[in-house]
Every structure is written in C-alpha cells, then in structure tokens.
A and B are shown apart, each in its own frame.
Chain A
Amino acid sequence: MSRSTRRPPASLTARCRAGLVTLLLLFPGIAAAVDAERADPGWSLDFYAGGDIGCAAIEAALALPDATWRGPSGLSTPSGVAGRTLWLRLSPQAPTAPRKLVLRWEHNATLNDWRDPGQRVISHEPGHAPGFTVVSLPQGRSEPLLMCLVSPTPRAEAFAILTAQELEAAERVVVIWMALLAGVILATCAMALAFFLRLRAPVFAAYGLYSLCLLGYLLKDAGALEQLLPLALQKGVFDYALGSVLVSGAAAAGVRFTVLFTRCDEDWPRMSTWLRRLSLLALLAVIPVLLSLPPFAAGFHVQIAGVVAQNILIAAMIVLIVPLVALSARRGRREARIYLIGWLPLLALLMLAVLVILGLLPANARLSPLWGMGAAAFASLVLGWGLVDRARRDRIERDLAVERAGRDPLTGACSRGALRPLLEAAGAPAVLLYLDIDHFKPINDRHGHAIGDRCLQRFTQRCQAQLRGVDVFARQGGEEFLALLPDTALEEGLRVAERIRVAVANDDEPSFTVSIGVAQRQPGETVHDWIARADAALYQAKEAGRDRVVAG
C-alpha cells in the first residue's frame, strides 16, 4: 500500500484557485434553489431607533410625529452591549390573510407587544426553528400596532412579515444549513480527536476542544443550543454564562491550536507568549460573568464589564494572530499558509461581531450566525487538507531518509546503488545469491499492487531472518533480489540459500516460492561477470522447474 510514487505536488495557489472556483460554482446554484417567491406582506413596517425612549415610554412613542418613523431600507441603528431600543409600527394594508411577524436571530432580545396601549404583552409562538421569534398578527384590524425591541443589536432587517408557508420554508432552509454545517464541523472535530489519540500530538487536542467550544458557541449564538439542552438550563443567567464560557474556551484553545499548528512561536517567540497571555486573560474574563450566577448574584454592570473585557481581548488576539501568521507564511511555513486560507474568513467574521457588540459599528453590520457556521465549516475542511499535507510530508521524509540510508523504500532491503561498492570490496571467499520470486506477475495482476508489495516486504523479512548481520540483502529491481555473503565458502552459501528457499516455501500467507542462483567469487573476476554467473545459475533453476537452488 505504501508505494512511493512521488509526484511533484501541485502548487498551493493552484489548488486554492480550484477550490474557490468549485465553491463559486456551487453556491449560486444552492442559493437559487432556496430563493422562493414572496407573497404580499399585507402590513407595512416603520421604525424609530430611539435610544432615549425606553420600552416603558409608550405614550411618548405614540406621540411621535409621522415624519420620525422610517421605512426598513437604509435605516442604520446603533448597537451596544447593554441593549438598545428600536420601536416598530405595523400598519395594516390588506388585513385579510393571516400573517406572522418574524424576528430573525434575536433570541436574546425582548420583544414587547403594545396591542393595547398601557398594557404590555409578550406573545411569542412556541416551537419554531432556531433564530425565529414569531408573533401571530391579528386579522381584520385597522389600527396600527406598536412594538418595541430591546437588544444589543436591534436591526430593522431582522423583521419580516410572512405567511405560514413562507415561514415554514424559511425555517426549513435554516435548519438544513445549520445541521449540515454542524455535521461538517462535528466530523472534523471527531477526526481531530482520533488524531490526538493515535498521534499523541497536543495540537489535535487543542483543535478538538476549540472546535467543540466554537460549535457550541455558534449554535448558542443561533439559538439552537437551547433546543438541544434540557429545559431547566435553557433560560436565564445560566444561558448567558454558558455562552461566555464557550467563547472563552474557544478563544483559549483556538490560540493554543494556532500557535501549535502554524508553529509561529518558533519564528516569533515573544509575540506568541503575549498571545498566550491574552488567551489566559480571556479565560479569566469569564469570572465576572460567572459572578452574576445565582449564588453570587453580582449586578448587571459586572456582567456587562465581563462581556466587554472578553470582547476587547478577543479583538486584540485577532489583531495579533493575523500579522503573526502572515509573517510566518511569508517565511515559507506551509501550515501558516493553510491556516491563513482557512481561518481568515472566520477571524474576519469574529472581528466584525466583536466590533458590533462593542458598539463601534452599527447594528446593521451584524450578519446571520449561519455565516459564522459556514466560515467555521470551511476552516474545518481546510484543516483536513492540513492533515493530508502533514501525512504527505511525513511520507516524503521517510522515503528520503530511507534512500539516504541506502535502502529500497518499499522493502527496506539494501538499495542497488548501495550494494555496488560492497560487491566491489568483497574479498575472494564471498558468495552471491541471485533470488527471484516464482510466478510473481500473476500475483500482482490478480490481487493488485498493494498485495504484491506486501509479498515483497514479507519475502524480504523472511530472507533477512536467515542472513547474518554482515550479509547484505539488496533489491535488484522488481521481484529480483541479491544477497552478498562475505567471507563465505560455496558450500556454506548453498546451505544458506536452501534455508531461505525452505523458509519461503513454508510460509503460507501469502503463498509463493523462490528460485535461487548461487555463485562464488572467482579471483580476478569483475563484479559484472560475478552477477552474470549468479543470474545464469538462477536461469537454470527456473528451467529445472523453479523452487530450487542451483550453483553456478
């Protein structure tokens, strides 16, 4: 199986290009397939991003002049860790068909429904897909509805009015994509754990931990983790703390993985140490968040401080990682290049999310968590390629080392080139055995090359077991081998040859025989003539019916 067919590897850039083209070809097709026709919404939406009016100030909101209400297109809304307010006015246009108000990817937000002014009602339909908050709109109403959203990232684009069928289709698309991407990440994670258990390299353990935490966080960010957890843990502070712990775990393990995988600590030891310190700090930033859990119940501001600190640390880590790895890649580290290709999209998305959370970018810049999952799945697949690259380099290094040692890479026998000087140097009492496996071609043809290769390896082992330490066993090519027995008389050489023949014939699996020609070196004979005489003896052995030893 381990045939050493070494080809010049295709260049990295060529492969990237091929991969990109494939992705570009695939995605429009998929996107077109999920894009469905939209029905008339029947309601019109207006927004007012009023940070100063809290959700309780319904009277003030009702008194707002019409000119302050804006349509959803082009409306930029601010973001902030502590939460911002967005007012929403729903005016019925053709209130005949049942419609649903859908809020996407805001499962941590509070949506207040002001159907009857002065009385706050929150009515989300249960049992919808992750990332869908659904409110049934009343039929036959002529007055506008007022609603208020409090969220760190309130966006007008997050709202939509859909029919039940449209909602079902949209939910289906989200569920299918989310599960597909989670499956990809999970598969690579399982693979990394297997690599860790077999190769005992900590880089794989770091990767496994990182991808598990990241997957957990991404699912949580999308509101899907709740549906997998038991009911008791789903809501409240624990939910918040879990997200924080997952982010910290992913950041710490991710930095460890980055340093181990790209080996940038060898090029830039000091910066790598800083990176590691930052990741430890990010781990410590969980403490304020944990302090807000029931037994301590620290205030809201402590929790917010923890989240802000964590996000700033993650931003700092990303700012440090990218140039570090880019410099390593410029120095020609293959892993650093692979990392850059795989992780840049994910790092960019993470940076964007951090900037939005910290209030440095408007809330509209927030992307759907599916993008994050897509980037993570892409990174997983690129990691797979990194694993391949590693295994391939291990094999190339093995073949080079074997060749350097004067060995035949397949069987481990002495190579032809390395045997030559030993033959020249062999003194007068020396014997040469010329060995050839009988009927080898049919074995190769019938069972495939992998089996043929195993036969050769097995044969080499059998022969070497019968030879002394000073004897040299070499592969001449194909299924032909030479054995040089220095300081040996012809009778002794014949005895050794017979021992080899019997050992091979008695070996049941795989079953084959060997013919051997034996020649003792004559004084003054050239190496060429010596080999030719052994070859002639081998020819006689084959003629005489194979599976025998003949002296030349």
Chain B
Amino acid sequence: MPLTRGVLLLLLLVAALSPGPLLAGNLGWAMSFQAAADLSCDQFESALARDDWNTTGVDAAALATSHSLWVRLSPGADPQPAVVVARNQIASEWVDYREPGLPQRRSTRTSPGSTAPGLLGVELPDDPDGPIHLCLGDRPGSTSAVRTQAIELLAAAEFRAAQRSGFAVLAAAMGVMLAMAALSLAFHAGLREQVFADYGIYVLCFAIYVLHSVDALPWLFPQALREGPSLRVFALLAMAVMAVHGLRFTLAFTGMGEAWPRMSLIASLIARIALFGALLASLGVLLGENGLLLRRSGIFVFNASIGLMILSVVAPVVEQAWRGRREARIYLLGWLPPLVVIFGFILRYLGITPESMRPSGSMLMQAAAFESLVLGWGIAERARYYRQARKEALHLAEHDPLTGALNRDAFAKVLKHALQDPAEASLLFLDVDHFKPINDRHGHAAGDQVLRRLVQRCQGELRGVDALARLGGEEFVAVLAGAGRDEAQRVAERIRLAISRDEHAPLPVTVSIGLAVKRAEDSAESWLARADQALYAAKHAGRDRVAAVG
C-alpha cells in the first residue's frame, strides 16, 4: 500500500533529523542537590549553612511546592571544562552564585538565541577554587516544576554539538511548517477553498506555539518587547487562533462536519470558549499583578476546553476513518501525534499526570513537522479529485449519457476533422426499425436497454479510429476514417448482422443503414444529407438493410 510506504519513508526522514543521544559523565565533578526554600533563589547564605545535600536527587513532591533547586558542583581531582545543563526546563532560569552578592541569571530570556531550545546551560571553569553553587528556579507564575532528572553535565564540545543539533531540528521543523503553510495558502489563493486557508493559518499559529513551547519565541521579538506582557499575549492569542482554525480545518477536511453535525457544533462551541479563555488570560496578563486571578482562570478555561475539544474530535474522526474516508485516515496519521502531545501538556497542567510524564517541547516540534509533511497527502488527494473530476466531466461533455456514444457536439467536431483530412472516409446513418412501438409496448426502460445494447454491438464492429454518435432518439451515425465505398459497405453489413442476429438482445430489433462516401466538394450538411437519403432508400426498400449513395 503506497500510503504505508510513504509513512515509513517519512518516519525514516524524521528519525534521521532527530538528535542522537548524548554521552554524559561526571567529568571530574560531583553533583549534589537541595530543595530551595523560596522561588527566587535569593537565600544563598541559608542554603550554604544547611548540610542536607543529597547526591541522588530531591523528591519531586518537595520541588512541586518550592519550584526551585540548589545544585552544588564540587570539583574532584581533575575537573574538566564542562557545562551544567537543564533539559526541557523552559520556564526556568539558572542563578549563578560564584560571586556572592551579585547573582547572575541565565535564562532563555536574558540571552535569547544563544541557547538551543530545551537546553539551558552554564559553563563551569576548568580551574575552580572550590564548590560552585547554582540555583535552578522557575519563573514566577509558571506551572511546571523543576526536576533533578533534567540536570546533567556535558563536556564543552558535547554541549556545542547538542546545541547545534537542537537549533538544526528546530530550524528544519520551522522550514517544513513554513513551506507547508505557504503551499496551503497558495492553494487557497488558487482554488478559493476555505479548508486550505484554515490550514495555512493553523500551521502558522502552530509554528508560533512550537516556538513558544521551546521558549524560542523571544528571538523573533526586539529586545524591548521580550520581557513585557506583549509576548505572552501574542503567544496566547496565537494558540487560540490555532485552536479555532485547527478545528475548522478538521471539520471540513475529515468530513466530521457533515457526518457528525451535532458533535461538530459542540466542538465549535468549545473552541469559542477556548478563545474566550485566551482573551481572559490576555487581559489578566496585561493587568499585571492585579490580574493574577483573571489570568489563572483564563488559562484554566483555555486548557480545559482545548482538552475537551481534542476528546470531542477524536471519536468522530476515527469513525470516519473506519468508514474508509481517505482524508480522515490521513488526518489520523498526521494529527494524532501533535494532539497526543498537546493533550499530555494539558493533563500535566490539570495535575492529572505527574511532572515526569510531561512531553518535551522538542516532541511537540517533531510532531508538528511530521503533521505538516502528512498534509502533503491531503493536498495531493485534492489535486487527484480535480484531475478525476475533470476527466469525468470531459467524458460527460462529449458523450451521450444514456448509451455512452458521442453526442451531437462531439460528432460535429469529428465530422469537421474527417472533411479536412484528404484521406477517404464514409458516413453511416443508422436508424432502429420500428422503435416507437417498442417504447410504447415495453416501456422506456426496455427502450433504453435496446439502445445501449445497440451501441455496444456497433462499437464491437468498429475500429478505434472510427466514431459512433447518437444524434437523438433512435438515430445514430458512424464516421469510418480511411474507408472507401467497398470497405464501408462491408462494415455496414457486419453491423446490420451483428444487431439482427444478436442472441443476447433484450428485444429483437433490426436497423436500416444509409451509407455515403465523402466527396471532395462535400460540406458537413451535404454529406449528412446524402447519408440520410441513403437511409431513406434503405427504409423504403423494406428495412433491415444497407443502402449506399456516392
């Protein structure tokens, strides 16, 4: 199955793009931890005075309340140049206490663009004069929690390589998403189909959301806007727009909108509630300290409704896919990964799953890029639909719907062509004998069947270059290209016999055939008129026979 093959290929590509595992060791340093008492990492002296440093890690429950973690790095005999790294702690920052009284902060916000997504590092010196104390703390108002598992030591070269591959994966994912958004918007511009506009807007907003989830969004903003509320408001609104357009795309693309109208209505309603929640949260962010409650409740409404929306969409889409709707299958293939990741974020936010099960930003990134690639199938599907429809329509435009023979217009073209061609040609004018009584006695359905069978039999006797057309009622014409009088006579006789001796005919019928050979001075009308005259002669002579003129 080509779809499976394509998927395998895509998976291979994605696997080739994702960064490999990094080697981690202690590099001559010993790490120990302590849960901090406060969120701001300020109480350096009291942390130093305590002696409950733990070498294995700190209980997640203790960290869930304090939101910050002290890390002590004691140099061994031969400390190597290393970088201490916090992975996927995007809402956190390192506070460096090497110079007491002057803590230095390092977060993705203070040095945007210099740290790869999900990789927050502080360089350690290669000639330390004692233990180094660092604090990893969450920014105020964040909903995630720090984890000791997220902290590791990397050699300087490893850190550089990890940073580079982090940047490369992010940039490649962005490239894929932007290309697909551009393509989708181009399809909308060309075809005026709303579904492509929805998808394009959705993917652009999804790209913003991905950048936000790995804390790379500040890179795109000038320095002045990075710390202010505008960035958060921007991200929130992008997420809300993404939800609304993503849903509209889903409904139209998968066929859920028409098959499950009530469920679709509910999902649209939930999307509007999510939009409302995002607006509420944005207002809260803009109000600053006074809007804390507003912000929290807005974010809660937003997250909960997005979770509900995902739930409400999955079952109908699965049902559509089960029924064999291609687009629904493509959708399931491409969209399930990002939906699952987003759902994972929401479950974590609602406190249903533990912190350790929180998906990482890079998972979302890869799922998003994969999803965009799969849309290529959706677009190809659409293009195929038009190609097919065009083929069918062209057939419809040139053929008689009842019998499948050419229609009047197409026949006129064939006739013109034959007249321009210097080669010989003959025209047969066929008429079913006594057709009206058949219709009256046996009904229209029987009459239709007789005509269909007649065309089948005629075409059996004609070559590929010959053309058979229905002029209307029970009258047919055939143009025999390259056939002179004798050959045309033979063909006409064969046709007559094929019909009168048809053993599988629904009703026994005969035909009369008039034959006219093309003359140099002929026009379409004169040629047809002579064939008609010949037919009249055949009818007059007693029917079921061939008569020729010229």
Contact = CB atoms under 8 A, between A and B. Distances in A.
A395 B397 contact: no
B396 A407 contact: yes
Given A1-B195, A193-B6, A228-B16, A394 B175 contact: no
B30 interface: no
Given A401-B393, A450-B252, A171 B448 contact: no
Given A469-B401, A487-B439, 17 more contacts: A175-B171, A179-B168, A183-B173, A183-B177, A194-B376, A194-B379, A197-B3, A199-B387, A385-B186, A388-B189, A388-B191, A391-B187, A391-B387, A394-B383, A394-B390, A447-B257, A447-B258
Interface SS, B side: helix
Please list the 4 inter-chain residue pairs (A to B) with the smallest Cβ-Cβ separation, ordered nearest first.
A183-B175, A191-B376, A179-B171, A388-B190
Contact of B397 (A9, A127, A169, A405): A405
A395 B3 CA distance: 25
B182 A381 contact: yes
A182 interface: yes
A178 B170 CA distance: 11
A398 B382 contact: no
Contacts of A510: 258, 261
Interface in B452-468: none
A468 B396 contact: no
The CB with the most chain B CB atoms within 10 A, among A169, A187, A397, is that of A187
Interface in A195-213: 195, 197-199
B182 A384 contact: yes
Interface string B387-430: 10110111011100110000001000000000000000000000
A198 B394 contact: no
Interface string B191-219: 11111000000000000000000000000
A224 to B, nearest CB: 9
Contacts of A1: 193, 195, 252
B376 A405 contact: no
Contacts of A7: 192
Contacts of B402: 469-470
A540 interface: no
B164 A182 contact: no
Contacts of B445: 468-469
A198 B389 contact: no
Given A394-B390, A397-B390, A450-B194, A470 B261 contact: no
Given A7-B192, A385-B186, A397-B390, A183 B444 contact: no
A178 B169 CA distance: 11
Interface string A65-79: 000000000000000
28 contacts: A5-B192, A176-B167, A179-B169, A179-B175, A180-B171, A183-B173, A183-B176, A184-B175, A184-B178, A186-B373, A188-B183, A191-B376, A197-B3, A387-B379, A391-B190, A391-B382, A392-B190, A397-B393, A401-B390, A401-B393, A401-B396, A402-B397, A405-B396, A450-B195, A468-B445, A468-B448, A469-B402, A470-B444
A198 B381 contact: yes
A5 B174 CA distance: 33
Interface of B: 2-3, 5-6, 9-10, 13, 16, 113-114, 157, 160-161, 163-164, 167-180, 182-183, 186-187, 189-195, 252, 257-259, 261, 264-265, 369, 372-373, 376-377, 379-387, 389-390, 392-394, 396-398, 401-402, 409, 439, 444-445, 447-448
A186 B176 contact: yes
B402 to A, nearest CB: 5
Contact of B380 (A171, A179, A182, A198): A198
The number of chain A residues touching the other chain, given as a range, is: 35 or more
Nearest to B439: A487
B17 to A, nearest CB: 8
A371 interface: no
Nearest to A7: B192
Interface in A449-497: 450-451, 454, 468-470, 487
Given A394-B383, A487-B439, A172 B167 contact: yes
A184 B390 contact: no
Contact of A384 (B5, B186, B393): B186
B157 A198 contact: no
Interface in A415-447: 446-447
B258 A177 contact: no
Contacts of A180: 171-172, 174-175, 178
A207 B402 CA distance: 42
A199 B172 CA distance: 28
A390 interface: yes
A129 interface: yes
Contacts of A402: 393, 396-397
Interface string A1-35: 11101010100000000000000000000000000
The CB with the most chain B CB atoms within 10 A, among A2, A387, A391, is that of A391
Contacts of B169: 179
A176 B376 CA distance: 24
Given A180-B172, A193-B6, A448 B257 contact: yes
Contacts of A404: 397, 409
Contacts of A388: 183, 186-187, 189-191
A195 B176 CA distance: 17
A182 B186 CA distance: 20
Given A184-B179, A398-B390, A398-B393, A175 B164 contact: yes
A226 to B, nearest CB: 14
Contacts of B265: 446
Contacts of A129: 164
B179 A193 contact: no
B13 A187 contact: no
Contacts of A377: 175, 179
A184 B187 contact: no
A190 interface: yes
Contacts of A390: 383
Contacts of A259: none
B386 A391 contact: yes
Given A178-B168, A179-B171, A392-B191, A187 B180 contact: yes
A460 to B, nearest CB: 14
A391 B396 contact: no
Contacts of A169: 114
A394 B386 contact: yes
Nearest to A399: B393
A310 to B, nearest CB: 27
A510 B169 CA distance: 45
A390 B386 CA distance: 10
Contact of B172 (A179, A448, A454, A509): A179
Given A127-B161, A197-B6, A389 B175 contact: no
A523 interface: no
Interface string A233-269: 0000000000000000000000000000000000000
Contacts of B448: 468-470
Interface in A127-177: 127-129, 168-169, 171-172, 175-177
A448 B385 CA distance: 21
Contacts of A181: 175
A126 interface: yes
B191 A395 contact: yes
Given A179-B171, A198-B377, A384 B179 contact: yes
A469 B445 CA distance: 7
B6 to A, nearest CB: 6
Nearest to A197: B2
A15 to B, nearest CB: 9
A202 B194 CA distance: 30
The CB with the most chain B CB atoms within 10 A, among A9, A126, A182, is that of A182
Given A180-B172, A401-B394, A450 B180 contact: no
Contacts of A395: 191, 386, 389-390
The CB with the most chain B CB atoms within 10 A, among A127, A385, A387, A395, is that of A395
Contacts of B9: 190, 193
A387 B383 contact: yes
